[in-house]
Amino acid sequence: MRRVTDALIGGWEICAILTFSSGYPIVPNLDSPDLLSGDQRPDLIGDPHTSGSPSQRIQQYFNESAFSQPDADVYGTAPRTLPNYRTFGIRNGDFTLMKNFKFTERKFAQFRLESFNLTNTPTFGRPDEYYGSNTFGQILDYAPGRGARQLQIGVKIYY
């Protein structure tokens, strides 16, 4: 009886990889068809801060009316990056539950249940940072390489 109980309950291993990071700085630029203009920035004329939950800020990540078009041949007044204002960060948890089932001293099977992004937390991409574009300030996609929750089961035989 003890052997059956140990086979079902005992010997499980849990592995976790937790990733937490802050977002990237917001870099306002002008949406200019002139390739010679370089990294020209708009004028900063107000506070770009907006409030609300992430789902409320998808269509307006920052206050677009805080920016304006600079005069011709004049550098914009917006800083290279907006101080104290960053993109959404990453909060992710990947977990593995595994157990080895021994047949003999050298032969065993390993059962694995793996979960990537277990909490199914979305990781949003950067907002459009080009003043003058139709989507300025909007988040249009998810961060590359980050997706919805994925589960996989695997069995590996060692002999």
- Is the torsion defined by CA of 97, 142, 44, 35 positive or negative? positive
Residue 122 has pLDDT above 90, yes or no: no
Per-residue pLDDT of 136-147, as tens digits, reads 999 988 776 677
Stated pTM of the model:
0.71
Domains in the chain, number: 1
C-alpha span between 87 and 89 (Å, rounded)? 6
Per-residue pLDDT of 33-83, as tens digits, reads 554 555 689 999 999 988 887 778 889 999 999 999 998 888 899 999 988
- Residue 93: domain span: 2-158
Task: Report the Cα 24 to chain-centroid distance in Å.
Answer: 10
| Interstrand relation of 130-131 and 29-30 (parallel, antiparallel or unpaired) | parallel
